[in-house]
């Protein structure tokens, strides 16, 4: 049903791999402070800062490191000065949806999340069941996601595959078919992604959505060079804030079709996630 929602909107390009979209870009923040905390192009943080500063939202729901480093902690941020603490990817899944109701005092909010979270929010907004906390979600920013891990398994894979402690790790990344960690020592170590697949959450093996099909804007690294993000604008309001942030000089933006490996690689990997995921078989009761 969700895919057909985008199919009937003639203003969108429809792809069975990355769903409907207005346009796709490769982009990088121009803000030197965001560059220090970003995962890829810093586009998520740049857009959130734009939304808060322009008062298009009163608060955002994002994820920072908990006191246990690399443990994700969902947070509600209503002051730009706290935003940069949320930069960078934590590969353990976060319980973002559990704190959404705490943001119901705000009139307008933005939520950042993995594709499964964005789908849940979309369903909640289509079938609200009287719940007040979906109505104030004005923008969703979806992150591309191949898989996530429990915090316990982030700890385990760092120890078992890299023989390192989490405190030594300054950045984790999934790129070019490798799971990559950067260390305080300056070293960078990689293992093939297929070697860490068994650490992923079992639910993720059933997930077909790479690019957050139902977000207003989707952001990830696949398709763009290092230090840049691939950005898919989907809804009218998502496309507008992206273009406005580019116009304001906060983001350097190129068309993803003009970038190598670009949209072709993104569609290929998104298609293989859809085709390759395990089927969900519902048993009749």
Partner interacting with residue 115 (select from ligand SF4, ligand FAD, none; CB below 5-8 Å by kind) = ligand SF4
Least distance (Å) between residue 158 CB and ligand FAD: 15
Residue 44 contacts residue 125 (beta carbons within 8 Å):
no
Q: Is residue 218 a contact point for ligand SF4 (CB under 6 A)? A: no
Beta bridge partners of 109: 59, 137
123-128 contact pairs (CB < 8 A, 24+) = none
Residue placing its CB nearer to ligand FAD in the complex, 5 or 78: 78
Q: How far apart are CA 140 and CA 138, in angstroms?
A: 7
Is 188 in a helix, a strand, or coil? strand
Take residue 162 and report the two structure tokens written for it. 């890299």
Q: How far is the CB of 116 from ligand SF4 (least distance, A)?
A: 3
Task: Between 5 and 191, name the residue whose CB sits nearer to ligand FAD.
Answer: 191
Residue 142 in the binding site for ligand FAD (CB under 6 A): no
In degrees and rounded to multiples of 5, residue 170 shows phi and psi of -100, -25
Measured in degrees and rounded to the nearest 5, phi and psi for residue 248 equal: -75, 0
Rounded Cα–Cα distance for residues 101 and 113 (Å):
15
Site for ligand SF4 in 147-206 (CB under 6 A): 147-148, 201, 203-204
Distance CA 247, CA 72 (A): 33
Site for ligand FAD in 93-112 (CB under 6 A): 93-94, 96, 112
**CB contact at 8 A, 158 and 181:** yes
Q: Which does 28 bind (CB under 5 to 8 A by kind): ligand FAD, ligand SF4, none?
A: none
Which 167-206 positions form the footprint of ligand FAD (CB under 6 A)?
174
Binding site for ligand SF4 (CB under 6 A): 93, 114-116, 145, 147-148, 201, 203-204, 207, 209
Binding site for ligand FAD (CB under 6 A): 38-45, 62-63, 72, 86-91, 93-94, 96, 112-114, 143-146, 148, 174, 219-222, 229
């Amino acid at each position: 049903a969700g895919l057909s929602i985008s199919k009937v909107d003639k203003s969108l390009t429809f792809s069975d791999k990355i769903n409907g979209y207005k346009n796709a870009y490769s982009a990088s923040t121009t803000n030197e402070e965001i560059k220090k905390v970003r995962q890829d192009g810093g586009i998520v943080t740049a857009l959130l800062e734009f939304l808060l500063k322009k008062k298009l939202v009163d608060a955002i729901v994002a994820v920072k490191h908990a006191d246990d480093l690399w443990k994700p902690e969902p947070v509600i941020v209503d002051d730009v000065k706290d935003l940069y603490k949320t930069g960078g990817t934590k590969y353990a899944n976060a319980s973002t949806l559990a704190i959404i109701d705490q943001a119901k005092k705000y009139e307008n909010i933005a939520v950042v999340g993995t594709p499964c979270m964005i789908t849940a929010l979309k369903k909640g907004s289509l079938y609200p069941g009287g719940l007040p906390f979906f109505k104030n979600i004005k923008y969703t920013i979806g992150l591309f996601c191949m898989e996530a891990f429990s915090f316990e398994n982030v700890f385990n894979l760092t120890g078992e595959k890299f023989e390192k402690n989490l405190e030594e790790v300054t950045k984790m990344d999934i790129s070019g078919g490798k799971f990559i960690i950067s260390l305080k020592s300056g070293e960078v170590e990689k293992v093939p992604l297929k070697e860490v697949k068994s650490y992923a959450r079992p639910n993720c093996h059933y997930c077909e959505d790479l690019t957050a099909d139902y977000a207003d804007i989707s952001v990830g690294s696949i398709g763009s060079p290092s230090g840049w993000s691939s950005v898919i604008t989907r809804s009218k309001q998502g496309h507008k804030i992206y273009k406005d942030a580019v116009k304001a000089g906060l983001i350097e933006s190129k068309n993803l079709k003009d970038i190598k490996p670009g949209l072709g690689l993104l569609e290929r990997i998104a298609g293989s996630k859809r085709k390759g995921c395990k089927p969900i078989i519902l048993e009749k009761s």
